[in-house]
């Protein structure tokens, strides 16, 4: 063993170290744990350590005597300064720095007070695991402090999970450190905490004593990170800094992500290596992510969220919209995370599994990416704070960070207007949330107001597909509903409504037939009004279309839609006996058609000569009705046969009614009105039916037409629109020869009564007879139809039997094919 | 101990996902499943193009070997699921198998929704794994 000359400092240092290692106080330090730890703390490769022990003679002796120990220490110093290990150099090397031990000793701390300051600053590394120091994600920036040279150096970053080591610290530090620690102990303790955690090595706990100093010594060469540490000199977390945004910005700008995302705390030591490299790259970054302290590492700070929102906007300007998967994929791929991890992040953040990201989901995903880049392990489940808020109204309840984010002044205003479910989770200023809450509340109030919306009669709309104006009209659920419907239909219908109204108002002599189905009245009104087959529009029958067509054909736009009368009057109209309203309506309705109007008004007085042509045109009307479905004659029939099928697809034969009207005086109006109230649909259908039957009659048509004509003639006042009139005129002449063409339908009975009316005058009595005749006709029609029905049923049965027999045969044949 | 094995095949018939419980005898499972692919193909093509719309996704019992029952399921994109269970699992009813397939299909859809997943890649989604594990454990432990 060569003599070892040590300087005074060295002497002192070594002796202290020896004392430290000499637990047994035997002046001989065997290769016990402390020595080994010490040597390990020297951060030298193991072979170097071996070499050192050899050189110093410990291997020879089997233990470290004081001299060997001293030699070893010196050799360590030599090795740490990079000099080759030579025994000769023990003495030759001058000004050798003291050996540095990572798990340093207190004496070193004492010696290097200057380093203490750095250590102090570093000591402010957030306490791992505990809330001693707020552990904002930004804090974890010790990455950058990691000395680039020391890969073996445990991450300087204070690692939160390594909390347990804290407890062990006071104990080891106390004995050795106290005398030598000039700086306050608290930083030391923190430092030790840090050291331990950063070391991640339980063994270190024993040697914690000089950790702080050692660290500082160690960090001495790294001025860069130290300066960064200096920023952390204050225990209190610095306020959130915009530089954090820089990091994100640079992230998106594709700069090395590591340097740009120092915000998050590395969560695990395993990541430390990656982090350290990251940190080293980011050493120059003095970003401090000290968002207000909170324990949940997954919380998004306001600035972070704002940043995320900005990023979201670059992809999707609409904050309530979605980012499609492909765009998100490109965006997050820029973070250079492995695809597998990105895939996992996506799984976590796409809450509704729709392949697109809402703002909330995007923020969560971004946050996870940031965390991952800083070394945090991805959670298995989406943390609560990252869950997209699904309920708008729960904003106030869901905003977790009360105090932390309150100071957030730059809360983006653009977030406020966004009412999407994702936005509520933003930790915006309370007023904004409250405001949005209010907005949501008002919205909900509005939605609740739907109850006050009036009920619309859906029948109206479908009933008039052809009409230009189909507006929902509130329906009063009164007994006169049907009547009202009819009224509505009239209104919404193209024209005929009005003719009906006058018709309705008309037949006073029909008062006794109040029980007649509304269609009757309706038809009567129609016939009275203008002989339109416009009853189509009134009925809520399922055959509005045909009727419509007939109407459109029959009734010119003279009676275009008139503004719907105000609801109040309607109930009155429902009043069965009141013809006055109908009269009103009649007059109003007849405003459009010039003829009908005067005719209607003039109805009571007398029947204009119109009936004649109408009479002749009745058969044509019948024809038309067949095509259009508005048989005026049928209306007559229906009126006379109230008990008949209400919903005949035939329309009232308005021509007949016109004849009626002509003959009938206003006394018939109320009756008609009543009928119309009962059900316009019925009227129309019935009207059409009889007419059809009328038409079907070949030879009978002639008489039918005659009767119809007469009826029409009697109802002259509301002459049919020019077209139908013309048609009737034409058809009349053609009818006689075309009687056979009309068809073999059963309407003989109908024809008969009709024919009985040729001479019907315009007297009221004749109207009565006409009604009775129509009743009779309808009855006959009924019987005929019933007979037909039974025959058809029989035919159907036969066919079914035949089919069954055929199937049986087939079955018999089939089994063979199945084999 | 009951065995259950699940495999997923891409439209090109290479495996996307393989999972068995317990982990032994995997090779035998794999062999069984691969042979069952033939049966699946046959069923898929047998229906014919005209009935493509009506072809059920659930193929039912493909064929019973002496030890195992093999069930098949094909998605509309020709991704095939095959489940092999012990024959001794008599209490495993058909509709349970159907529900398993349905769950698998849903999970697979979720995986497909992930833009980072390239169709044809082996499925490494943790969520998917979790669901499959849960299903298998539930199936095995039911008895």
What digits encode the pLDDT tens for the residues A464-494?
445 555 566 665 555 555 555 555 555 554 4
CB neighbour list of residue A462: distance below 8 Å, 6 or more residues apart: A544
Residue A366 has pLDDT above 70, yes or no: yes
Q: Could you report the predicted ipTM of this complex, rounded to two decimals?
A: 0.82
**Angle, CA A126 vertex, CA A122 and CA A129 arms, to 5°:** 140
- Domain A8-89: give its CATH code: 1.10.238.10
Range of the domain at B47: 2-136
Q: From CA A20, how far away is CA A210, in angstroms rounded?
A: 11
Q: Evaluate whether A498 touches A592 at the Cβ level (below 8 Å).
A: yes
Q: Are strands B4-9 and A63-65 parallel, antiparallel or unpaired?
A: unpaired
Q: Which residues of B touch A353 (CB under 8 A)?
A: 109-110, 113
Q: Hey, what's the torsion of the CAs at A228, A231, A237, A240, to 10 degrees? A: -80
Residue A270 has pLDDT above 70, yes or no: no
Nearest to A353 among B113, B117, B126 (CB): B113
- Cβ of A328 within 8 Å of Cβ of B124? The answer is no
Comparing CA positions, the residue from A640, A631, A638, A792 lying closest to residue A696 is A631
For tokens 């029939």, the residue is A637
Nearest to B126 among A325, A339, A347 (CB): A347
Q: From CA A779, how far away is CA A756, in angstroms rounded?
A: 16
- How high is the pLDDT of residue A762? 63
Minimum CA–CA partner of B115 in chain A:
A325
- Cβ of A380 within 8 Å of Cβ of B126? The answer is yes
Q: Evaluate whether A62 touches A49 at the Cβ level (below 8 Å).
A: no
CATH code, domain with B6: 3.30.450.70
Q: Which residues of B touch A340 (CB under 8 A)?
A: 124
Q: Evaluate whether A297 touches A406 at the Cβ level (below 8 Å).
A: no
Nearest to B116 among A339, A353, A380 (CB): A339
Comparing CA positions, the residue from A291, A309, A311 lying closest to residue A301 is A291
Dump the DSSP string for A143-165: GGGS-TT-SSSPP-SPPTT-TTH
- Cβ of B114 within 8 Å of Cβ of A343? The answer is yes
Minimum CA–CA partner of A381 in chain B:
B127
**Strand ranges, E, within B10-98:** 15-21, 58-64, 68-74, 80-86
Best interface-test mutation with B: which of A323, A353, A377 has the largest number of B CBs within 10 A?
A353
- Cβ of A340 within 8 Å of Cβ of B124? The answer is yes
CB neighbour list of residue B86: distance below 8 Å, 6 or more residues apart: B2, B3, B4, B67, B68, B69
Q: Evaluate whether A464 touches A492 at the Cβ level (below 8 Å).
A: yes
Three-state secondary structure call for residue B17: strand
Q: Which residues of A touch B110 (CB under 8 A)?
A: 347, 353
| DSSP class of B66 | S
Q: From CA A588, how far away is CA A571, in angstroms rounded?
A: 17
Q: From CA A549, how far away is CA A465, in angstroms rounded?
A: 10
Summarize pLDDT for A548-572 with one digit per residue, the tens.
444 444 444 444 445 555 555 555 4
Minimum CA–CA partner of A353 in chain B:
B110
* Residue ranges covered by each domain of chain A: 8-89, 302-374
Q: Which residues of A touch B125 (CB under 8 A)?
A: 343-344, 347
- Cβ of B126 within 8 Å of Cβ of A350? The answer is no
- Cβ of B113 within 8 Å of Cβ of A329? The answer is no
Q: From CA A260, how far away is CA A141, in angstroms rounded?
A: 11
The alpha carbon dihedral of A159, A164, A166, A172 has a sign of negative
Minimum CA–CA partner of B122 in chain A:
A340
Q: From CA A56, how far away is CA A60, in angstroms rounded?
A: 9
Dump the DSSP string for A45-87: -HHHHHHHHHHHTHHHHTEEEHHHHHHHHHHHHHHHTT----S
- Cβ of B115 within 8 Å of Cβ of A344? The answer is no
Q: Which residues of B touch A329 (CB under 8 A)?
A: 115-116
B126: closest CA of chain A, how far (Å) = 7
Mean of pLDDT values over A637-666: 49
Q: Is B116 on the interface with A (CB under 8 A)?
A: yes
- Cβ of B110 within 8 Å of Cβ of A353? The answer is yes
- Most confidently modeled of A72-86, A198-212, A710-724? A72-86
CB neighbour list of residue A507: distance below 8 Å, 6 or more residues apart: A521, A524, A528, A660, A661, A664, A666, A667, A668, A669, A670, A671, A672, A673, A767
Three-state secondary structure call for residue A605: coil
- How high is the pLDDT of residue A430? 44
CB neighbour list of residue A379: distance below 8 Å, 6 or more residues apart: A298, A348
Q: From CA A391, how far away is CA B134, in angstroms rounded?
A: 30
- How high is the pLDDT of residue A778? 94
Cross-strand partners of B73: B58, B81
Q: Which residues of B touch A354 (CB under 8 A)?
A: 113
Summarize pLDDT for A34-67 with one digit per residue, the tens.
777 777 777 777 777 777 777 777 666 666 677 8
Residue A773 has pLDDT above 90, yes or no: yes
Best interface-test mutation with B: which of A342, A343, A355 has the largest number of B CBs within 10 A?
A343
Comparing CA positions, the residue from A710, A539, A704 lying closest to residue A614 is A710
Q: Which residues of A touch B105 (CB under 8 A)?
A: none
Of all helices (H) and strands (E), which one includes residue A356?
Answer: strand A356-357
B127: closest CA of chain A, how far (Å) = 7
Interface of B with A in 86-115 (CB under 8 A): 109-110, 113-115
Cross-strand partners of A356: A324
Minimum CA–CA partner of B116 in chain A:
A343
Q: Evaluate whether A622 touches A728 at the Cβ level (below 8 Å).
A: no
CB neighbour list of residue A791: distance below 8 Å, 6 or more residues apart: none
Other C-beta atoms lying within 10 Å of the C-beta of residue A786: 10
Nearest to A344 among B110, B115, B126 (CB): B126
Nearest to B115 among A325, A340, A353 (CB): A325
- How high is the pLDDT of residue A806? 94
Minimum CA–CA partner of B123 in chain A:
A340
- Most confidently modeled of A387-401, A790-804, B90-104? A790-804
A327: closest CA of chain B, how far (Å) = 9
B124: closest CA of chain A, how far (Å) = 8
A87 burial (CB, 10 Å; 0-12 / 13-18 / 19+) is: middle
A349: closest CA of chain B, how far (Å) = 10
- Cβ of A344 within 8 Å of Cβ of B110? The answer is no
Q: Which residues of B touch A350 (CB under 8 A)?
A: 113-114
**Angle, CA A431 vertex, CA A428 and CA A436 arms, to 5°:** 80
| Mean pLDDT taken over chain A | 56
Residue B31 has pLDDT above 80, yes or no: no
Q: Is B48 on the interface with A (CB under 8 A)?
A: no
Best interface-test mutation with A: which of B116, B126, B127 has the largest number of A CBs within 10 A?
B116
Summarize pLDDT for A774-793 with one digit per residue, the tens.
999 999 999 999 999 999 99
Q: From CA B108, how far away is CA B116, in angstroms rounded?
A: 14
Of all helices (H) and strands (E), which one includes residue A492?
Answer: helix A481-492
Q: From CA A509, how far away is CA A715, in angstroms rounded?
A: 13
Identify the contact set of chain A against chain B, taking CB-CB distances under 8 A. Answer: 325-326, 328-329, 332, 339-340, 342-344, 346-347, 350, 353-355, 380
- How high is the pLDDT of residue A488? 55
Minimum CA–CA partner of B112 in chain A:
A355
Summarize pLDDT for A505-551 with one digit per residue, the tens.
444 444 444 444 444 444 444 444 444 444 444 444 444 444 444 44
Whole-number CA gyration radius for chain A: 51
Q: From CA A745, how far away is CA A173, in angstroms rounded?
A: 117
Tokens, residue A475: 């329906």
Whole-number CA gyration radius for chain B: 14
Q: Is B125 on the interface with A (CB under 8 A)?
A: yes
Q: Evaluate whether A619 touches A711 at the Cβ level (below 8 Å).
A: no
Minimum CA–CA partner of A338 in chain B:
B116
HSE (CB half, 13 Å, CA atoms) of A99? 33
Q: Evaluate whether A530 touches A595 at the Cβ level (below 8 Å).
A: yes
Domain count, chain B: 1
Summarize pLDDT for A576-615 with one digit per residue, the tens.
554 455 555 555 545 444 444 444 444 455 555 554 444 4
Q: From CA A249, how far away is CA A576, in angstroms rounded?
A: 79
B23: closest CA of chain A, how far (Å) = 23
HSE (CB half, 13 Å, CA atoms) of A645? 19
Summarize pLDDT for A676-708 with one digit per residue, the tens.
444 444 444 444 444 444 444 444 444 444 444
Q: Evaluate whether A68 touches A58 at the Cβ level (below 8 Å).
A: yes
Q: Evaluate whether A663 touches A774 at the Cβ level (below 8 Å).
A: no
- What is the separation of C-alpha B16 from the centre of its chain, rounded to a whole number of angstroms? 11
Q: From CA A364, how far away is CA A331, in angstroms rounded?
A: 14
At the top level of CATH, the class of A302-374 is mainly alpha
- Cβ of A346 within 8 Å of Cβ of B115? The answer is yes
Minimum CA–CA partner of A354 in chain B:
B113
Mean of pLDDT values over A367-378: 83
Q: Evaluate whether A204 touches A195 at the Cβ level (below 8 Å).
A: yes
With bands split at pLDDT 50, 70 and 90, how would you rate the model's confidence at A807?
Answer: very high
A398: closest CA of chain B, how far (Å) = 26
Tokens, residue A638: 């229906």
From residue B79, alpha-carbon distances to A552, B27, B33, B74, B109 in Å are 58, 22, 14, 6, 11
Other C-beta atoms lying within 10 Å of the C-beta of residue A543: 21
Most distant CA atoms of chain B, gap in Å: 43
With bands split at pLDDT 50, 70 and 90, how would you rate the model's confidence at A796?
Answer: very high
CB neighbour list of residue A651: distance below 8 Å, 6 or more residues apart: A523, A533, A535, A536, A547, A550, A625, A628, A629, A630, A631, A632, A634, A635, A683, A684, A685, A686, A687, A688, A691
- How high is the pLDDT of residue A781? 95
- Cβ of A343 within 8 Å of Cβ of B117? The answer is yes
Any domain includes B143? no
Summarize pLDDT for A405-428 with one digit per residue, the tens.
443 333 444 444 444 444 444 444
Q: Which residues of B touch A347 (CB under 8 A)?
A: 110, 114, 125-127
């Amino acid at each position: 063993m060569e003599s070892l000359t040590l300087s005074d400092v060295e002497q002192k240092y070594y002796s202290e170290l020896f004392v430290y290692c000499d637990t047994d106080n035997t002046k001989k330090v065997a290769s016990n744990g402390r020595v080994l730890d010490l040597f390990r703390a020297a951060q030298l490769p193991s072979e170097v350590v071996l070499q050192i022990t050899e050189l110093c003679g410990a291997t020879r002796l089997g233990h470290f005597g004081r001299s060997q120990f001293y030699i070893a220490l010196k050799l360590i110093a030599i090795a740490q300064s990079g000099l080759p290990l030579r025994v000769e150099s023990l003495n030759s090397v001058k000004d050798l720095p003291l050996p540095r031990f990572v798990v340093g000793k207190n004496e070193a701390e004492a010696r290097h007070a200057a380093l203490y300051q750095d250590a102090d600053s570093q000591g402010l590394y957030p306490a791992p695991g505990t809330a001693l120091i707020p552990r904002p994600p930004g804090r974890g920036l010790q990455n950058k402090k990691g000395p680039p040279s020391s890969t073996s150096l445990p991450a300087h970053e204070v690692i939160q999970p390594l909390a347990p080591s804290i407890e062990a610290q006071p104990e080891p530090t106390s004995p050795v450190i106290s005398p030598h620690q000039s700086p306050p102990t608290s930083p030391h303790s923190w430092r030790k905490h840090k050291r331990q955690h950063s070391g991640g090595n339980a063994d270190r706990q024993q040697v914690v004593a000089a950790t702080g100093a050692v660290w500082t010594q160690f960090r001495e060469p790294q001025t860069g990170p130290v300066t960064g540490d200096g920023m952390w000199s204050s225990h209190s977390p610095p306020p959130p800094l915009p530089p954090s945004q820089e990091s994100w910005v640079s992230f998106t700008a594709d700069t090395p992500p590591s340097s740009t995302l120092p915000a998050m705390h590395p969560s695990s030591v395993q990541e430390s290596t990656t982090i350290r490299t990251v940190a080293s790259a980011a050493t120059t970054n003095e970003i401090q992510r000290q968002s207000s302290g909170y324990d949940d590492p997954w919380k998004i700070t306001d600035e972070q969220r704002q940043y995320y929102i900005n990023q979201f906007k670059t992809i999707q300007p609409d904050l309530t919209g979605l980012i499609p998967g492909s765009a998100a994929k490109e965006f997050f791929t820029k973070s250079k995370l492995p695809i597998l991890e990105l895939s996992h992040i996506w799984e976590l953040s796409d809450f509704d599994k729709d392949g697109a990201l809402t703002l909330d989901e995007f923020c969560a995903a971004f946050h996870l990416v940031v965390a991952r880049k800083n070394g945090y392990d991805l959670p298995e489940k989406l943390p609560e704070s990252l869950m997209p808020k699904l309920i708008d109204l729960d904003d106030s309840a869901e905003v977790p960070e009360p105090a932390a984010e309150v100071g957030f002044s730059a809360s983006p205003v653009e977030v406020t207007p966004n009412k999407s479910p994702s936005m509520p989770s933003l930790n915006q200023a309370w007023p904004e949330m409250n405001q949005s809450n209010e907005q949501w509340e008002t919205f909900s109030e509005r939605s609740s107001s739907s109850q006050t919306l009036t009920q619309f009669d859906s029948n109206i709309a479908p009933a008039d597909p052809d009409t230009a104006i189909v507006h929902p009209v509130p329906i009063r659920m009164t007994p006169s509903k049907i009547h009202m419907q009819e009224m509505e239909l009239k209104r919404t219908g193209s024209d005929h409504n009005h003719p009906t109204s006058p018709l309705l108002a008309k037949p006073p002599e029909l008062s006794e037939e109040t029980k007649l189905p509304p269609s009757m009245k309706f038809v009567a009104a129609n016939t009275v009004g203008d002989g339109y087959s416009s009853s189509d529009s009134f009925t809520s029958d399922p055959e509005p279309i045909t009727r419509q067509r007939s109407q459109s054909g029959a009734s010119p736009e003279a009676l275009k839609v008139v503004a719907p009368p105000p609801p109040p009057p309607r109930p009155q109209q429902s009043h069965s006996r009141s013809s006055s309203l109908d009269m009103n309506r009649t007059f109003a309705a007849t405003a459009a058609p010039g003829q009908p109007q005067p005719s209607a008004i003039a109805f009571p007085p007398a029947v204009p000569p119109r009936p004649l042509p109408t009479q002749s045109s009745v058969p044509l009307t019948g024809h038309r009705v067949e095509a259009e479905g508005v048989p005026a004659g049928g209306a007559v029939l229906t009126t006379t046969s109230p008990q008949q099928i209400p919903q005949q697809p035939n329309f009232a034969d308005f021509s007949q009614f016109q004849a009626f009207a002509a003959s009938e005086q206003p006394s018939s109006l109320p009756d008609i009105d009543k009928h119309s109230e009962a059900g316009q649909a019925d009227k129309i259908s019935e009207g059409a039916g009889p007419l059809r039957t009328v038409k079907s009659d070949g030879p009978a048509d002639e008489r039918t037409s005659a009767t119809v004509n007469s009826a029409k003639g009697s109802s002259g006042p509301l002459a049919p629109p020019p077209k139908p009139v013309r048609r009737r005129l034409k058809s009349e002449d053609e009818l006689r020869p075309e009687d056979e063409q009309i068809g073999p339908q059963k309407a003989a009975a109908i024809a008969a009564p009709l024919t009985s009316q040729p001479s019907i005058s315009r007297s009221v009595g004749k109207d009565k007879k006409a009604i009775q005749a129509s009743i009779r006709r309808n009855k006959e029609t009924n019987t005929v139809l019933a007979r037909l029905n039974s025959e058809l049923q029989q035919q159907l049965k036969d066919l079914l039997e035949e089919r069954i027999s055929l199937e049986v045969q087939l079955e018999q044949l089939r089994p063979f094919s199945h084999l | 101990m009951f065995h259950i094995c699940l495999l997923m095949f891409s439209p090109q018939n290479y495996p996307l996902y393989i999972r068995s419980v317990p982990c032994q005898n995997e090779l035998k499972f794999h062999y069984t499943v691969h042979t069952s692919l033939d049966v699946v193909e046959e069923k898929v093509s047998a229906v014919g193009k005209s009935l493509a719309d009506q072809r059920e996704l659930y193929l039912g019992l493909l064929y019973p070997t002496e030890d195992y029952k093999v069930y098949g399921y094909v998605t509309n994109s020709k991704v095939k699921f095959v489940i092999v269970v012990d024959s001794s699992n008599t209490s495993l009813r058909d509709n349970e198998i159907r529900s398993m397939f349905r769950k698998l299909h849903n999970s697979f859809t979720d995986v497909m929704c992930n833009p980072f997943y390239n169709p044809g890649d082996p499925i490494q989604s943790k969520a998917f794994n979790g669901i499959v594990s849960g299903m298998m454990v539930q199936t095995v432990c039911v008895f």
